[in-house]
A and B are shown apart, each in its own frame.
Chain A
Amino acid sequence: MSSDVLLQARGIGKRYGAGCEACAELTGPQAGVNRCPRCGTVHALCDVSFDLHEGEILGIVGESGSGKSTLVQCLYFDVDASEGELRLRGEADGENLFDLPRSRKRRVRGRLMGMVYQNPLRGLRMDITSGANVAEKLLEADVFNFRRIRDRAAELLASTEIPAGYLDAFPRSLSGGMQQRIQIAKALANNPPLVLLDEVTSGLDVSVQARVLDLIRELQRERGMSMIVVSHDMGVIRLLADRTLVLKNGRVVERGLTDQILEDPQHPYSQLLVHSTL
Chain B
Amino acid sequence: MIRVQGLTKTFHMHVRGGAVLPAFQDVSFHVNPGEFVGISGPSGSGKSSLLKCLYRTYLPSRGEIWYTDGDSVTRNLASEDEHVIISLRRQEIGYVSQFFPVIPRVSALDTIANGMVARGFDRTESEERARSLLARLGISRSLWDMFPSTFSGGEKQRLNIIHAVITSPRLLLLDEPTASLDAESAREAVALITEMKQQGTAMIGVFHDRALLGRLSDRVLEMSA
B163-194 interface mask toward A, CB cutoff 8 Å, 1 = contact, 0 = none? 00000000000000000000000000000000
Q: Are B104 and A53 in contact (CB under 8 A)?
A: no
* Chain A: minimal CB distance from B145 (Å): 16
Q: B15, B52, B105: which contacts A272 (Cβ < 8 A)?
A: B15
* Residues in chain B near residue A259, CB distance under 8 A: 57
In contact, B104 and A263 (Cβ under 8 angstroms): no
Report whether A260 and B14 are in contact in the complex, using a CB–CB cutoff of 8 Å. no
**Quick check: B59 and A214 within 8 Å, CB to CB?**
no
Please tell me if the beta carbons of B104 and A210 are within 8 angstroms of each other in the complex: yes
**Chain A 259-278 near chain B by CB (<8 Å), digits 1 or 0:** 11001101110011001000
Chain B CB within 10 Å, residue with most, of A239, A243, A259: A259
Q: Are A242 and B56 in contact (CB under 8 A)?
A: no
- A239 in contact with B13 (CB, 8 Å): no
Most A-side CB within 10 Å, residue of B82, B103, B105: B82
* B64 CB, nearest partner CB in chain A, Å: 17
For B, the interface residue count at a CB cutoff of 8 angstroms equals 18
Q: In B82-106, which residues have CB < 8 Å from any A CB?
A: 82-83, 85-86, 103-105
B29, chain A: closest CB distance, angstroms: 22
Q: CB-CB < 8 A to B105: which residues of A?
A: 210, 214
Task: Specify the chain B residue showing the minimal Cβ separation from A266.
Answer: B59
* Contact A239/B82 with A264-B57, A271-B13 known, Cβ cut-off 8 Å: no
In the bound complex, how far is the Cα of B56 from the Cα of A272, in angstroms? 21
Contact residues in A for B144 (Cβ distance below 8 Å)? none
User: 1/0 contact trace for A224-267 toward B, CB 8 Å?
Assistant: 00000000000000010011000000000001110110011011
B14 adjacent to A263 (CB under 8 Å): no
B58 part of interface (Cβ distance < 8 Å): yes
- Cα–Cα, bound, A49→B86 (Å): 20
B86 CB → nearest A CB, Å: 6
* Residues of chain B from 41 to 100 with CB closer than 8 A to chain A in the complex: 52, 56-59, 82-83, 85-86
Interface pair A263/B15, CB less than 8 Å apart: no
Q: Which of A56, A210, A243, A264 contacts B58 (CB 8 A)?
A: A264
Q: Is the CB of A264 within 8 A of B13?
A: no
Residues in A with CB closer than 8 Å to B85 are 257
B59 engages A264 (CB within 8 Å)? yes
CB distance from B111 to the nearest CB of A (A): 13
CB pair B59–A271 under 8 Å, yes or no, is: no
Bound: A275/B11 CA distance, A: 14
Chain A residues closer than 8 Å to B104, beta-carbon distance = 210, 239
Q: How far is the CB of B119 from chain A (nearest CB, A)?
A: 13
Q: Does A4 contact B (CB under 8 A)?
A: yes
**A53 partner residues in chain B, CB cutoff 8 A:** 83
A260 touches B13 (CB 8 A): no
- Checking B14, B86, B103 against A243 with a beta-carbon cut-off of 8 angstroms, the contacting residue is B86
Query: Roughly how many angstroms separate A267 CA and B13 CA in the complex, as a whole number?
Result: 9
Interface code B1-39, partner A: CB below 8 Å = 1, 0 otherwise? 000000000011111000000000000000000000000
- Contact for A263 among B13, B52, B82, B83, CB less than 8 A: B52
Q: Judge whether A239 and B86 touch: CB under 8 Å.
A: no
Instruction: Tell me whether A271 and B15 are in contact in the complex, defined as CB-CB below 8 angstroms, given that A243-B82, A263-B52 are known contacts.
Output: yes
Interface string of A3-14 (1 = CB under 8 A from B): 010000000000
User: Which B residue sits closest to A51, measured CB to CB?
Assistant: B83
| In the complex, chain A residues whose CB is within 8 Å of the CB of B14 | 267-268, 271-272
Asked if residues B58 and A263 are in contact (CB atoms below 8 Å), the reply is yes
Whole-angstrom CA separation of A264 from B55 in the bound complex? 12
A56: chain B residues within 8 A (beta carbon): 83, 86
> Is the pair A257, B82 in contact by a Cβ cutoff of 8 Å?
yes
Instruction: Tell me the bound Cα distance from A19 to B112 in angstroms.
Output: 53
Determine which of B15, B86, B103 lies in contact with A257 in the assembled complex, contact meaning CB atoms within 8 Å: B86
Closest A residue, CB atoms, query B58: A264
- Whether B59 and A260, one on each chain, are in contact in the complex, defined by CB atoms closer than 8 angstroms, is yes
A255–B104 alpha-carbon span in the complex (Å): 25
**A residues with CB within 8 A of B:** 4, 53, 56, 210, 214, 221, 239, 242-243, 255-257, 259-260, 263-264, 266-268, 271-272, 275
What would 24 A/B residue contacts be, using CB atoms closer than 8 Å? Answer: A4-B83, A53-B83, A210-B104, A210-B105, A214-B105, A221-B114, A239-B103, A239-B104, A242-B86, A243-B86, A257-B57, A257-B85, A259-B57, A260-B57, A260-B58, A264-B58, A264-B59, A266-B12, A267-B14, A268-B14, A268-B15, A271-B15, A272-B15, A275-B15
Other 12 A-B pairs with CB < 8 A, given A257-B86, A266-B12: A4-B83, A210-B105, A221-B114, A242-B86, A243-B82, A256-B59, A257-B57, A257-B85, A259-B57, A263-B52, A271-B14, A271-B15
